[in-house]
Structure 1
Amino acid sequence: MLLCALLLGACSKEAPKLDAPRPVRAAVLAEGAAGASAEFSGEVRPRIESRLGFRVAGKITAREVDVGTLVKQGQVLMQLDPQDLKLAATGAQASLRAAETNRDLADADYKRYQELRTKNFVSQSVLDTKRAALRAAQAEADAARAAFRGQSNQAGYASLVSDVDGVVTSIDAEVGQVVNAGTPVVRVARTDELDVVIGIPEDRVGDLRRASSVTVRIWSSPDQPIAGRVREVSPIADPATRTYTAKIAIPPRAGVRLGMTAAVQVASKNGGTGLRAPLTSLHHEKGVTGVWLVENGAVRRVPVTIVGQAGNDVLLGEGVKAGQTVVTAGVNLLRQGQKVRILTADVARRDDTEAAAASAPAAGAPAAAGGAVK
């Protein structure tokens, strides 16, 4: 009897074990708009940077500013030796006095001959000659006066002054150096208008022109975004980098200095709409793209169509409806009809999304995808 009992126990089948529900992460589908986003690194530069030089030639005798000096309009930057210019102005003034003396003499002579002509002591041709001599003397006086004024201005050009409020970015000449007229010696950049200069690949130029928003973040303060505006896009690619230079205008802000590194984020919309879902929710099998829907505690795979992309998410078209829950992590480990358990954080997020959709159906937003399945 004992032997029979042992044989019967060995031949009996063990009861099958039920699989425990697999924990998954999930998100609720909601309406979204397709768009494209790209980020480019750039440098903060002034919109206007002037290369200032003397209007006259001479020897530099003084330099009043250094690189980084904040200057005001009319402030003296450099000075030339004014001695030769002053001598030239003095000579021009002496020529003016001589021309005015000749004019006065010609005027007195003409008036005297006018009286003689009234008494018929001289002929009309003699009077005409004196009138012509007076006009010539007047013209010489006018020319001498203009030359004196011009030379006086030349003497004033010995001082190089800033014509704008800004900051000195470069010094290209030093004291004792002899410079020609127009040679740049100081660079002054305006600080009231700033640009972030970036290089755009040729396949992104069109997206930049259609940008719906441009956001600039300075590397030193990335948590303070600045709204930018596309001000200029070069029509010619750089021969070395083969990129198109673009300038993004930004308003002046405290802490933003010239030469700082900045990141420019460009977002543009292409007009497509669909149900927004994380990219990790897609499941590819036999050339068909689908997602796993969570229904009554189990998963069901349905094929979907992709109509666009919005950042790191995709926009789904046919196959799903708004409000349905899709698995966002571990999609390759599931099988049709498998029991699943949504993680607690995703359940709370799904409840918040459904409550927001009930109060404002058009304002629903998809929940963020979580990490990998444990």
Structure 2
Amino acid sequence: MLRPALSLIGVLGVALLAGCGNGEVEPTSVRPVMVVQPQPASEAFASYPGEIHARYEPQLAFRIGGKVVERLVEAGERVRKDQPLARLDPQDVRLQLEGIRAQVAAAEANLRVARAEHERYKTLMKRELVSRSQFDASENSLRSAEARLRQTRAEFDVANNQVGYAELRATRDGVIAQRLFEVGQVIAAGQTVFVLAADGEREVAINLPEQALEHYSLDQEVTIELWSQPDKRYPGRIRELSPAADEQSRTYSARVAFTEADVAVELGQSALVSIRNADQVSLAVPLSAITAEQGRAYVWRLKADATLERVDVRIGAFGETQVPVLEGLQADDWIVMAGVQLLHEGQVVRPIDRDNRPVALAGQE
């Protein structure tokens, strides 16, 4: 029984030797690998929602207090410069004006008496019929009457102006952005009743978090995207940055101006402002592309001849899907994004993209 078994083994050995009689090793197949190029790191940009505002938004208020008796415009209406917006009850300021008008008349009459008295004393002084002190007293009375008349006339001008202050007018062309009162309400002098969005430049109002404020500065370049125009991006700059945080939100308000002139935007539109942080990196790769050995991170980069080379990289904090690359890669590099543990230096591979399409490397026809 043993002899037939040995014969069978001998036959198989001869067959194997016959198949490999030329001494050549069968070529191994080229391994396909999925490759990607580094993308701009999302960690290098911070995006903040904002709203379109006018460059100038004066807060309009009455210069005197009183009861509002008439509102002539509503929020959202366009107004022209010097157009009446609202009126206060003018009764009190008119009565005050009439009272001061009477004081002016009394001061004028008193001045006429003082002037006549002074002229009489001047004549008597020439005849030496009155003393010098009596003449000086009449002269002082005349000067006092003149000063009193000037005072009452100034008070009359103020009261007359206050009658005009009972009507609030627009300071420039624009749109009423806010209305902050109701008819019948008693308001104080200087209390804001309207916010006017003046015609002209438009900008984006955003709020910056306290922990990120050190990364931003005035005139820093940004990118503005409008929700109504998702396919367009406008360059801008930080025009204004508040030095103090809001008491409630603890954020710092900022205004972003459009760099381009005549951007077609409307008040109140939503916008997204993206600000690049100069302290952050500009490239990132997928998590699966990074591997490490002895504490050193590296990736597999494709050379022009479709072979692999190991490249050490310095990385930042891991994100959810990407890793920021601080050093070691360029934007036009191709790196392997999956199966990196099975690769070795100099290995020939067949690169494909995420859609399983061949990737043409630089130097290949």
TM class, shorter-length: 0.7 to 0.9
The corresponding residue for 1:43 is: 51
AA matched with 2:214: G
Q: Contact 1:196–1:262 at 8 Å: present in 2 too? A: yes
User: Which runs of structure 2 are paired with 1:134-283 in the superposition (5 Å)?
Assistant: 134-209=142-217, 213-238=221-246, 241-250=249-258, 253-270=262-279, 278-279=285-286, 282-283=289-290
Q: 2:68 and 2:347 mapped to 1: Cα distance?
A: 87
After superposition, the Cα gap between the structure-2 partners of 1:350 and 1:313, relative to the gap in structure 1 and judged at 3 Å, is farther
Q: 1:198 and 1:106 mapped to 2: Cα distance?
A: 67
Does the residue aligned with 1:151 lie in a helix, a strand or coil? helix
After superposition, the Cα gap between the structure-2 partners of 1:144 and 1:294, relative to the gap in structure 1 and judged at 3 Å, is closer
Deviation of 1:100 (Å): 1.0
Does the residue aligned with 2:49 lie in a helix, a strand or coil? strand
AA matched with 2:162: Q
Deviation of 1:153 (Å): 0.8
Does the residue aligned with 1:164 lie in a helix, a strand or coil? coil
Deviation of 1:253 (Å): 4.4
Q: Contact 2:289–2:338 at 8 Å: present in 1 too? A: no
**Residue deviations 1:80-101 (CA, integer Å, cap 9, x gap):** 2324433332332232122112
Does 2:291 correspond to 1:284? yes
Deviation of 1:210 (Å): 9.0
Does the residue aligned with 1:59 lie in a helix, a strand or coil? strand
Question: Over aligned residues, Cα RMSD in angstroms?
Answer: 4.2
Does the residue aligned with 2:335 lie in a helix, a strand or coil? strand
After superposition, the Cα gap between the structure-2 partners of 1:254 and 1:282, relative to the gap in structure 1 and judged at 3 Å, is closer
AA matched with 2:325: V
Does 2:87 correspond to 1:74? no
Q: 2:281 and 2:185 mapped to 1: Cα distance?
A: 64
Q: 1:211 and 1:133 mapped to 2: Cα distance?
A: 65
Does 2:325 correspond to 1:314? yes
Q: 1:305 and 1:126 mapped to 2: Cα distance?
A: 104
Does the residue aligned with 1:346 lie in a helix, a strand or coil? coil
Q: Contact 2:281–2:325 at 8 Å: present in 1 too? A: no
Query: Which 5+ residue runs of structure 1 have no aligned equivalent?
Result: 356-374
Q: 1:140 and 1:112 mapped to 2: Cα distance?
A: 21
Q: Contact 1:290–1:301 at 8 Å: present in 2 too? A: no
The corresponding residue for 2:98 is: 90
Q: 2:331 and 2:191 mapped to 1: Cα distance?
A: 70
**Residue deviations 1:32-90 (CA, integer Å, cap 9, x gap):** 9xx93322223334454333222223332321111012223322110123244333323
Q: 1:116 and 1:253 mapped to 2: Cα distance?
A: 80
Does 2:322 correspond to 1:346? no
Query: Which 5+ residue runs of structure 2 have no aligned equivalent?
Result: 1-6
AA matched with 1:284: T
Q: 2:91 and 2:220 mapped to 1: Cα distance?
A: 60
Bigger relative CO (Cα 8 Å, ≥ 6 apart): 1
Q: 1:12 and 1:289 mapped to 2: Cα distance?
A: 49
Q: 1:154 and 1:323 mapped to 2: Cα distance?
A: 68
Given the alignment, which residue of 291, 299, 316 partners 2:307? 299
**Residue deviations 1:215-239 (CA, integer Å, cap 9, x gap):** 1112211333232222344445556
Give the structure-2-normalised TM-score: 0.74
AA matched with 2:267: L
Give the structure-1-normalised TM-score: 0.73
AA matched with 1:187: V
Q: 1:57 and 1:315 mapped to 2: Cα distance?
A: 62
Which has the higher mean CA deviation after the structures are superposed, 126-135 or 247-256? 247-256
Does the residue aligned with 1:120 lie in a helix, a strand or coil? coil
After superposition, the Cα gap between the structure-2 partners of 1:22 and 1:240, relative to the gap in structure 1 and judged at 3 Å, is farther
Q: Contact 2:59–2:196 at 8 Å: present in 1 too? A: yes
Q: 1:306 and 1:79 mapped to 2: Cα distance?
A: 68
Deviation of 1:200 (Å): 3.2
AA matched with 1:261: S
AA matched with 1:346: V
Q: 1:323 and 1:243 mapped to 2: Cα distance?
A: 35
Q: 1:331 and 1:268 mapped to 2: Cα distance?
A: 33
After superposition, the Cα gap between the structure-2 partners of 1:43 and 1:112, relative to the gap in structure 1 and judged at 3 Å, is same
Q: 2:154 and 2:286 mapped to 1: Cα distance?
A: 78
Q: Contact 2:299–2:313 at 8 Å: present in 1 too? A: no
Aligned residues: 340
Q: 1:40 and 1:329 mapped to 2: Cα distance?
A: 31
Q: Contact 1:282–1:289 at 8 Å: present in 2 too? A: no
AA matched with 1:114: K
After superposition, the Cα gap between the structure-2 partners of 1:83 and 1:231, relative to the gap in structure 1 and judged at 3 Å, is same
